Amino acid sequence: MKKTSALLGALMAGILLTSTAPVMAFGLGNLAAAIPGVGGGTSGAAVSAGDIDAFIQTAQEADQMIGTSSRHIFKAVASKQDIAEQEARLATANAIADPAEKAAAINKIRDDEATALQKSLASQEVQDKLKTMNQAQLASFGNAAFTFMLGVLKDKQLAEGSTALVSGVTSNPTLLPRLGALKDVVTSVGAQAVSTAKIGEGLLKLAKSGKIAALPASASEKPKKVDDI
């Protein structure tokens, strides 16, 4: 990833808050900080190496939740041809030797997938597919939606505390060697927020209409098991 300034980290946090407007509209935006040392009120003096570890670990967990569940949702609503094409693109991307090029290719696939899902979730075709799902399939889809939104809420929480955390690390000479890696994660969280907002809006509408089970109200909730449909 490219190195970014503290200002860019703050801007990424702003992007996330804007992108999650649908979350706030459905009452999921006012979250209490659940990550020690990462909440919005964190001061520079309170930042420790453990806070950085917690931030990065939570970001990795959120990324895994979003990645796994979004693939599940995509496979549940996309056509067999679209699924086959995406699998081929992923195989090609995973075969790229250069880490930066590989990451860029995978991120492009994720962005395209998010755009496709945003359109699909609002379509009549997906509404019809949900009606034809049996109880187990619908429960599996609901679990994926729940886990996806839980990852989104965790990203939101991270973004809200990222500016204070970066500022604290910047002012602590003993933590400066870890600043570059932290900024990379902050940037990744912000970039992911843009694509997840596209899918999240559609899932929130489905939950509000009662077509799928309720979504998480807090980032502290536990993810649900995502099984194959």
Q: How does pLDDT run across 48-82, given as a tens digit for each residue?
A: 999 999 999 999 999 999 989 988 998 888 888 98
Q: In this predicted structure, what is the pLDDT of residue 97?
A: 94
Q: Residue 216: pLDDT above 50?
A: yes
Residue 197's domain comprises 47-78+117-208
Nearest-CA neighbor of 196 among 42, 59, 9, 10?
59
Give yes or no for a contact between 141 and 229, defined as CB atoms under 8 angstroms apart: yes
Q: State the DSSP H helix or E strand holding residue 108, giving kind and residue range, or none if neither.
A: helix 99-121
Residue 38's pLDDT band, with cuts at 50, 70 and 90, is very low
Whole-model pTM? Answer: 0.74
- For residue 229, give the amino acid letter: I
Residue 172 falls inside a structural domain: yes
Residue 136 falls inside a structural domain: yes
Q: In this predicted structure, what is the pLDDT of residue 108?
A: 87
Residue 135 falls inside a structural domain: yes
Query: Considering Cα of 216, then 42, then 197, then 83, what sign does the dihedral take?
Result: negative
Query: Considering Cα of 35, then 7, then 10, then 71, what sign does the dihedral take?
Result: negative
Structure token pair of residue 202: 């559609």
Q: Considering its fold, how many domains does the chain have in total?
A: 1
Residue 110's pLDDT band, with cuts at 50, 70 and 90, is confident
Phi-psi region of 210 (alpha: psi -120 to 50; beta: other; left: phi over 0): left
Percent of the chain with pLDDT over 90: 33
Residue 105 falls inside a structural domain: no
Tell me the C-alpha to C-alpha distance, in Å, between residue 122 and each of 54, 75, 160, 174, 218.
Answer: 36, 16, 29, 50, 25
Question: What is the distance between the alpha carbons of residues 192 and 16, in angstroms, rounded to a whole number?
Answer: 9
Q: In this predicted structure, what is the pLDDT of residue 198?
A: 74
Higher model confidence: residue 178 or residue 127? 178
Higher model confidence: residue 127 or residue 18? 127
Residue 94 falls inside a structural domain: no
Q: In this predicted structure, what is the pLDDT of residue 228?
A: 60
Higher model confidence: residue 4 or residue 134? 134
Q: In this predicted structure, what is the pLDDT of residue 91?
A: 94
Residue 38 falls inside a structural domain: no
Q: How does pLDDT run across 164-190, given as a tens digit for each residue?
A: 899 999 999 999 999 999 999 988 888
Q: In this predicted structure, what is the pLDDT of residue 23?
A: 37
Q: In this predicted structure, what is the pLDDT of residue 6?
A: 33
Residue 124 falls inside a structural domain: yes
